[in-house]
Amino acid sequence: MSPASASRPPELSFHGAAREVTGSCHRVVCGPHQILVDCGMFQGDEESERHNAAPFGFEPSEIDAVLLTHAHLDHCGRLPLLVQRGFRGRIFATAATRQLARLVLLDAAAIAEEDAARARRSRLRHGEEDGAGQPLYSTLDVFDTMDQFAPAVRYGAAFEVVPGVRATYVDAGHLLGSASVRLELEHDGRKRSVTFSGDIGNPGRELLPDPTLPPPSDLVVMECTYGDRQHRPYAESVEELLDAIHATFRRGGNVIIPTFALERTQELLYVLHRAVERGRLAPSTQVFLDSPMAISATRIFARFPEAFRPPVAKLLRSGGDPFAVPGLHMTREVAQSRMINAITGGAIIMAGSGMCTGGRVLHHLRRHLWRRESAVVFVGFAAEGTLGRQIIDGAERVEIFGETIPVRARIHTINGFSAHADRDALLAWQHEVGPAETVLVHGEHEVMRTFARALRKAGARAVHMPRRGERLRLDDAEPGEASHG
């Protein structure tokens, strides 16, 4: 960093999740230091892959530290690339986030390596030379990345990131280990506070506690994934899911649930566990968890009893398993996974990926989407451009492995299981943190504009919607003066 920049006021810049949902990566420049909050992957379509490989928009070797809010791929997925390109600083995260991030990043590297090998074979088959086709990053890059993690961060305990920047993590209630991060920036004798919401949990769920509110801040950078809608209450969503399961079984079909390996899977397992306990689901119901990553993640979850609501924590501490269901089969191996194909009705099949962009769920969708007896239940967000989104939006036929499949199965979308706060919860969060300036990130542009209107109506002053690469100076801009978008 040049000496001239040392006297400038702190500055934020946005390098992902800017008027879009994935790729979270925000930079804070304070005096001679630069830190990142998250370094996530862009997900969705081929364009996302290009964005992932493109330059970051800053020099990785000049970043002093990364503050990771949570382990979802769209928040941590580009960390190994950052390391590969020269970042040598420390990565701060909670203990659970670190364990989950390791799993998520190793999985991402394995997928990238497989894709690159497949592309190379295809080129060779077509007589082309073995040119480019390097994976975005490798398993070795992930190991290097894990070495750069600092000792685990504890919720509520402030620590110095670099001189002039202190950080406090609070539980965001979104995913095991997830956090909102409040920064206190001190420069030229002036103090400013900035809170990054991370992903804000959906209050009222059964596994994780409600999000903890960070103390008031001068500015917030907040997500708005569901800034334009309200979720159904959790209890109603549970009943809706169980009704969908029973109706499908009566028709003689299977229930396919595309799930995210982290959180949603464990939440659903707990819902099924409770449903068996309450007599709402037969103990003999066959449940398949066909996702190696979800199986590993479930083990990590069981290591952190303190992270859960009291009934779940108590069960874990007493040696019980909140994620156990009598008829549960966890299928790690591909051969076991193929055996599920023999079952045409009466089973619940959970498989990744949640947005149906890859993974074993594609095989199950190919076998069941065209069957009127079966059902597909979506319990999470699916970004624009993904197969999941096409099905949710009512596509009559879709392409899977180059085959056109008619969509005849019953499609359910149950938002109450969402790990993201809805519009009212986001408005309440912003109101409580009470910033002079609000920066919206992590939302589709239309949703963001709708949420910005709701915020202004509720009395919010400056609301920003930065584009990718845009900078925002933390100077004395009058409220409203800097408002745009």
Least CB distance from residue 366 to Zn ion, whole Å? 28
Q: What is the DSSP letter of 231?
A: P
Least CB distance from residue 189 to Zn ion, whole Å? 37
**Which residue's CB is nearer to Zn ion, number 72 or number 360?**
72
CA distance 329 to 400: 25
Does 182 contact Zn ion by CB under 5 A? no
Strand 33-37 relative to strand 65-67, pairing: parallel
Q: What is the DSSP letter of 211?
A: P
Size of the site for Zn ion (CB under 5 A): 2
Least CB distance from residue 24 to Zn ion, whole Å? 8
Which residues have a Cβ under 8 Å from the Cβ of 48 and sit 6 or more positions away? 22, 23, 41, 42, 385
Q: Do 89 and 64 touch, CB atoms closer than 8 A? A: yes
Binder of Zn ion out of 26, 72, 360, 449 (CB under 5 A): 72
Least CB distance from residue 72 to Zn ion, whole Å? 4
Instruction: Count Cβ atoms below 10 Å from residue 341 Cβ, excluding itself.
Output: 10
Give the x-and-dash track for 13-52 against Zn ion (CB under 5 A).
----------------------------------------
Residue in 244, 293, 304, 241 with CA at minimum distance from that of residue 271: 241
CA angle 129, 131, 136 (to 5 degrees): 145
Alpha carbon 482 to its chain centroid, in Å, reads 30
**Which residue's CB is nearer to Zn ion, number 93 or number 287?**
93
Least CB distance from residue 42 to Zn ion, whole Å? 14
**Which residue's CB is nearer to Zn ion, number 173 or number 359?**
173
Which residues ranging from 185 to 204 are in contact with Zn ion (CB under 5 A)? 199
Q: Which residue has the tokens 């290009």?
A: 50
**Contact range with Zn ion by CB under 5 A, out of 3-11, 71-79, 143-151, 332-340:** 71-79
**Which residue's CB is nearer to Zn ion, number 97 or number 254?**
97
Least CB distance from residue 130 to Zn ion, whole Å? 37
CA distance 175 to 105: 16
**Which residue's CB is nearer to Zn ion, number 26 or number 72?**
72
Least CB distance from residue 420 to Zn ion, whole Å? 7
**Which residue's CB is nearer to Zn ion, number 104 or number 472?**
104
Least CB distance from residue 172 to Zn ion, whole Å? 9
CA distance 227 to 459: 16
Alpha helices for 290-340 (secondary structure H): 292-302, 310-317, 334-339
**Contact range with Zn ion by CB under 5 A, out of 64-72, 332-340, 441-449, 471-479:** 64-72
Distance linking the first and last C-alpha atoms of the chain: 30
Interface positions with Zn ion (CB under 5 A) = 72, 199
